[in-house]
Amino acid sequence: GLARSQKCYRVSIGTGFPGHHPPPASFSPVCGRPRAQYRNVGGEDSMEGEWPWQASLLWNNKHQCGGSLISNQWVVTAAHCFQRSTNTSNYMVLLGVNKLANSQPHKLSLGVKRIIRHPKYIGESSSGDIALVELERPIQYTDYILPICLPAASVQFPAGMKCWVTGWGNIQEGEDLPAPQTLQKLQVPIIDQRTCKYLYSMALGGKFPPKSIQDDMMCAGYAEGMKDTCKGDSGGPLVCKASKEWLLAGIVSWGEGCAIKNRPGVYIPLFIDLSVSRVTEFLSVGLSTPCSVCISPCTRLQPAIPNLHVPHLI
C-alpha cells in the first residue's frame, strides 16, 4: 500500500529518450504497454489490467513483496524479500491480480524455480537490493499479464519527472491495506541523488538517525512526507513513461517509517543492474550455460534472460 499521510538525459512524460527506439509493430506483445488506459492522479485504487506487469510474491501463501514481470519466465524484485528464506518451495508468484482478497478471473499462480539475489547484497539498506525470480514455467501473456520494459543503460530519469509506484502494502505504518486489498497506485516525482543524500544525512530525533544513500540507490517521493511506499510494497515497480512504453525505473527498496518528512522512498534503479548491458554479469551467478536469445526482428543478445523485453538494445 502506498501510505497517504551525473549526466542524464532530460526527458519528460510523453517524450522519447534520446536513442530510444520502440520495438517494431510486428513485435507482439509489446512490453510496457497496458491494454487498459486509465490514469487518475487523485485516485488510489488501480483498475484491472492497468499495471499488467505487477506481481505479488507470496511467502507461505501470504503477500510478502511486490515484483515486476520482465519476461515470460522472470520476475524482478528486492533481494531483502528473501531474508527469511531462499527455499523456493516457500514462495509463490501471483500475476494478473488486482485485488488480493478476491478470487480473480485473470489470476495466475506459479511456483518458483530459482531465486538469484544480487551478489553485492549483504543486508538491510545495503547496495544490490535486487533479485531475480525464475518462474516454474514460461507463461502466456494476456491483456492482464504483460512484461514491463527495461531501460537502456544510458537512460537516467531526471529530478522532478512524475512516475508511478504500485503495491499492496500497508496504507500507513502498522495499518494493513483493507479488504479487498486493491492494488494501490501513487504518483511520485524523482528526487535527484544530491537532495536524496542530503535528506537522509539529517537526523530526525533518536528514532531516525542519518542513513547512507549508496550510488546504486535513487529516491522518489515527497520531502514533506504524506505520500510514500510502506511495508509490503517492497520489491514492487517504480515505472516512468517514455513515449508509448512504460519503463521500469526502479525497485522499491527501503525507507524510514512510512511517509515521514525528509525520508522519501528509496529505490534500486534498474539502469544500474538489469539493463541489457549488465544482465549477463548479474545472471552469471545463476546460469552455468549462457544462452543466445533472439528478440524480433533478430537482434542478438548473448547471453541474456530468455525472451527479455527491452525497447532499446545497447
120 sits in which H/E element: none
The reported pTM is 0.75
Residue 154 appears among annotated catalytic residues: no
Give yes or no: 288 in active site. Answer: no
Residue with cell 542478438: 300
pLDDT score for 42:
38
| 69: its cell numbers | 514481470
The continuous run of DSSP H or E covering 294 comes out as strand 293-295
3-state secondary structure of 194: helix
Among the listed residues 68, 127, 234, 253, the single catalytic one is 234
Report residue 60: phi and psi, to 5°: 50, 45
**What is the DSSP secondary-structure string of 55-98?**
EEEEETTEEEEEEEE-SSSEEEE-GGGGSS---GGGEEEEES-S
Q: Which of 20, 63, 80, 312 is catalytic?
A: 80
Task: Compute CA 282 distance to the chain's CA centroid, rounded to the nearest angstrom.
Answer: 16
Give me the catalytic one of 68, 125, 126, 129. 129
**Residues in the chain where the model's pLDDT stays below 50:** 3-28, 39-43, 228, 259, 272-278, 280, 284-314
CA distance 210 to 28: 47
Q: Report the distance separating Cα 263 and Cα 199, nearest Å.
A: 7
Q: In the chain, what are the domains?
A: 1-314 (2.40.10.10)
Cis peptide before 290 (omega within 30 of 0): no
- The pLDDT value given to residue 3: 44
- Cβ neighbours of residue 272 closer than 8 Å, sequence gap 6 or more: 216, 278
CB 35 within 8 A of CB 143: yes
Q: How far apart are CA 145 and CA 163, in angstroms?
A: 21
Q: Can 80 be counted among the known catalytic residues?
A: yes
Q: Which three cell numbers mark 305?
A: 534472460
* Residue for grid cell 533478430: 298
For the chain, the 3-state helix, strand and coil shares in percent, each to the nearest 5, are 10, 30, 60
Q: Which residues contact 289 (CB under 8 A, 6 or more apart)?
A: none
Locate 98 and state its grid cell: 488486482
Angle made by CA atoms 138, 142, 148, in degrees to the nearest 5: 75
Cα separation, 267 vs 24, in Å, equals 31
Cell numbers placing 46: 488501480
